Structure 1
Amino acid sequence: MSLVVYMAALPLVAAAMVLRRSRTTPRTPLTVPTRATAFLGAVCFTCAAPATLAAVNRATGIPNVGAPITYSSISAFSCSLIILLIHWRGGPRERIRRQVRLSIAVYGALVVAICVLFALADARTERLTDLDTYYANTPFMREMIVLYLTGHLASTIVLSVVCLRWARDKVTGLLRIGLRLILAGLLLDVIGFELAKVTAVMARWCGYDLDVLSTTVAPPAASLGALIYSAGFVLPRLASAAAERQSLAGYRALKPLWSALRDLTTTPQAEPRWWQLWWQLPSSRLYLLEANIRDALLQLTAQFDQHVGRAAYAAAVSRGASAEAARRDSEKAMIIDGILRASGQTDGSPDPPANFRITLDLVDLADAVTRVRALAPDQVQA
């Protein structure tokens, strides 16, 4: 069992290492949450292995102390998944910070409660594989087990609901593949881990023995499920460069857009120095520039006005454009208006949309921004 769990942890460790940020790469909003999620997933598997539990118990001299450590790491992993989803969804920075703080506060309190309940419980008999069912009727241990299962189930439900909503949108490419992987992993986690664990614990409450569900079915299902939905989060980050136009022409086309954005936000300007460019491939330069632009656009969300987008959508439809083309015009108009407002070229208070995701081709957006910036100030106001 320990070998299986350790092998499940290895791909997550590898993902965390691959996602490591170099000194010339900007710290994007998704970099830290993605690495933290992969790392915490590996910690969960490592802590849950019977060999690790036995080693921790021996090192501390406290029977079963590995249990609250494992349950706390599972809670931290559940919290990291929600935080990653919050950053992936995007939106105004203040709202993101508020949601992240709330998630950390809730799961932080859960971790504290798990540790306190274990300290109050009488769990002197070491159990490495069947602790959940063995202590299912023990005061305080029972509550501790219910708490960690509830916390993990809550994060699973939240992720499933949000991903199902996204799946109904017209998302394509790696994001679509990622969403499908997340949903498949969550389904396996709910059925194979949560349902098996809860059934085994409740069976103990009713005087029956279904420990095989908790000891044999749940661990491999949890390992496989976590690997699948973690891959769903990590895959778009690992292969995003391959999904975009990786060419020197694309890099040059995006430079005017970055020039319009770089002084309007606090996005780190981590472009390579001139003496580093000679060995970097055009695709690497393009990826770095796209990351800077996307981060800057996310920071400008508060300057967007959804009324401008609606007006642009209506104008495009009246010209006979398709719904998809009208949607692109709407998004493009909101972004350009936001850039002009942030630079002081237009007046008025913005009315930002509640949810905004960048779906435009950045080269098309760069062309539109270049045309608008070439206009005289009075033409821009018009």
Structure 2
Amino acid sequence: MSLVVYMASFLLALAAILLRRPRRTPRSPLSIATRATAFIAAVCFFWSAPVTLAAVNHATGIPNIGAPLTYVSISALSCSLIILLIHWRGGPKERIRRMTRMTVAVYGTLIIAIVVLFALADAHTERLTDLDTYYANTPYMREMITLYLMGHLASTIVLSAVCLKWARDEVTGLLRLGLRLILAGLLLDALGFTLAKVTAVVARWLGYDLDFLSTSVAPPAASLGALIYSVGFVLPRLASAAAAERESVAIYRALKPLWCAVKDVATAPPVAEPTWWQPWRLWPSSRLYLLEANIRDALLQLTAYFDQRVGHTAYAAAVRRGERQDRARIDSEKAMIIDGIRRATGKEGSPADPPEKFRVTVDLVELANAVHRLREAAPEQVRTQ
């Protein structure tokens, strides 16, 4: 059983790693909640493995100390799932913060109660796989077990109700698939884990033995259910990230002509390319960030070749065409940069009159397109001469 649980823990931890975004990307509450949920789920399954429980009990010298750790992690997972759903649904920021604080308060109280009840209980006989049913009638342990099961069941009901409501709305694509996966995983978790555990514990209260539901049915059902609804939460997130990476690829390709035009005349070495042992820096968004940084650095190094007279001429021409002032300034900046590149490569011999201050404000893709058009027009001009 430990192998199955460890496999679920590994896959969830891997999901948390893969959801890592580049450092330059602004952190969003949804991204943080998604990674936190995947990480807490991985920790939850790691703690619940019998091998881990035995190791923790032995290391601390406290029999069954692994049980409250597992129940606390399960309660934390229930809390994080609700918080993730709150952020996934969106809405006014104040409402999101209020509901998040309320959820943390409720499950924080539940976690404290679990710890206190275990400290008060008499549970000196180590049980690694059947603790719930073995101590089902033990004072304080009975209340602790009931509390964590009810807390987990409550989160499952809330999540299922909200997802079912969303599924009835007009949602399409990966969001609909994600909702269906979440519902399937929650259904498996509710029936296979929570209901099985509750049935086994209640059977003990009534004097019956249905321990196999708790020891043989619940753990694999919980592992499979968690994997399914975790995929449901993560899939739309990965889809949006993939769309952003595709956009980064398109922008990267559009900027290549501009980089080819300035890289040979830049004096400072470019920012180092990412290495294979930093896989997150190999993502298109990270490579685009490095390319943009290299281009901006190169343009600032070319300031000495810029001629503000060219900029003034381009600005006046844009104004005469009826362009707005901000658009005319951009045209002026583009003209100075393109002229500066020509001067730096020796294609323009007259002395430059550089501006005292210069800051790159023009859109780099727009500038790259202008450079590309200029390079395509150059051979035609040569042939007509």
Task: Pick the TM interval, shorter chain.
Answer: 0.5 to 0.7
Percent of residue pairs identical: 74
What residue number does 1:367 align with?
none
What residue number does 1:272 align with?
none
8 A contact 1:38–1:230 mirrored in 2: yes
1:140-196 alpha-carbon deviations (Å, 9 max, x no partner): 000000000000001001100110110011111111111010000000001100110
The answer on 1:228 being equivalent to 2:231 is no
Match for 2:134: what amino acid? Y
Distance 1:42 1:282 in 2: 25
Secondary structure of 1:30 counterpart: helix
Distance 1:17 1:248 in 2: 21
8 A contact 2:249–2:285 mirrored in 1: no
Distance 1:197 1:247 in 2: 47
What residue number does 1:114 align with?
114
Q: Do the aligned partners of residues 31 and 249 (structure 1) sit closer, same or farther apart at CA in structure 2, a change above 3 Å counting?
A: closer
Aligned-pair distance for 1:24? Answer: 1.9
Distance 2:239 2:77 in 1: 23
Q: Do the aligned partners of residues 281 and 121 (structure 1) sit closer, same or farther apart at CA in structure 2, a change above 3 Å counting?
A: closer
Match for 2:74: what amino acid? I
Match for 2:226: what amino acid? A
Secondary structure of 2:23 counterpart: coil
1:283-329 alpha-carbon deviations (Å, 9 max, x no partner): 749x99xxxxxxxxxxxxxxxxxxxxxxxxxxxxxxxxxxxxxxxxx
What residue number does 2:183 align with?
183
Any residues of structure 2 matched to 1:147-296 within 5 Å, and which? 147-243=147-243, 246-247=246-247, 284=285
Distance 2:146 2:20 in 1: 35
1:252-288 alpha-carbon deviations (Å, 9 max, x no partner): 9xxxxxxxxxxxxxxxxxxxxxx77x99999749x99
Aligned residues: 266
| TM-score when normalising by structure 2 | 0.65
8 A contact 1:185–1:226 mirrored in 2: yes
Aligned-pair distance for 1:219? Answer: 0.2
Aligned-pair distance for 1:29? Answer: 2.2
The answer on 1:17 being equivalent to 2:17 is yes
Match for 1:145: what amino acid? I
Distance 2:31 2:241 in 1: 14
Aligned-pair distance for 1:242? Answer: 3.6
Distance 1:21 1:245 in 2: 11
Aligned-pair distance for 1:240? Answer: 1.5
Match for 2:109: what amino acid? A
Q: Do the aligned partners of residues 246 and 153 (structure 1) sit closer, same or farther apart at CA in structure 2, a change above 3 Å counting?
A: same
RMSD: 2.5
- Stretches of structure 2 lacking an aligned partner (at least 5 in a row): 253-269, 275-280, 290-385
Any residues of structure 2 matched to 1:38-117 within 5 Å, and which? 38-117=38-117
Distance 2:248 2:179 in 1: 31
Match for 2:33: what amino acid? P
Aligned-pair distance for 1:27? Answer: 0.6
Distance 1:248 1:42 in 2: 31
Q: Do the aligned partners of residues 3 and 18 (structure 1) sit closer, same or farther apart at CA in structure 2, a change above 3 Å counting?
A: same
Distance 1:10 1:57 in 2: 22
Distance 1:117 1:74 in 2: 16
Distance 2:245 2:120 in 1: 58
Bigger RCO of structures 1 and 2 (CA < 8 A, at least 6 apart): 1
8 A contact 1:251–1:282 mirrored in 2: no
Secondary structure of 2:29 counterpart: coil
- Stretches of structure 1 lacking an aligned partner (at least 5 in a row): 253-274, 289-382
The answer on 1:142 being equivalent to 2:142 is yes
Structure 1 residue runs of 4 or more that deviate by more than 2 Å after TM superposition: 241-252, 278-285
8 A contact 2:196–2:217 mirrored in 1: yes
Aligned-pair distance for 1:251? Answer: 6.7
Distance 1:7 1:15 in 2: 12
8 A contact 2:245–2:285 mirrored in 1: no
What residue number does 1:370 align with?
none
Any residues of structure 2 matched to 1:315-334 within 5 Å, and which? none
Aligned-pair distance for 1:241? Answer: 3.4
What residue number does 1:30 align with?
30
Aligned-pair distance for 1:33? Answer: 0.4
Aligned-pair distance for 1:61? Answer: 0.6
Match for 2:6: what amino acid? Y
Distance 2:73 2:141 in 1: 17
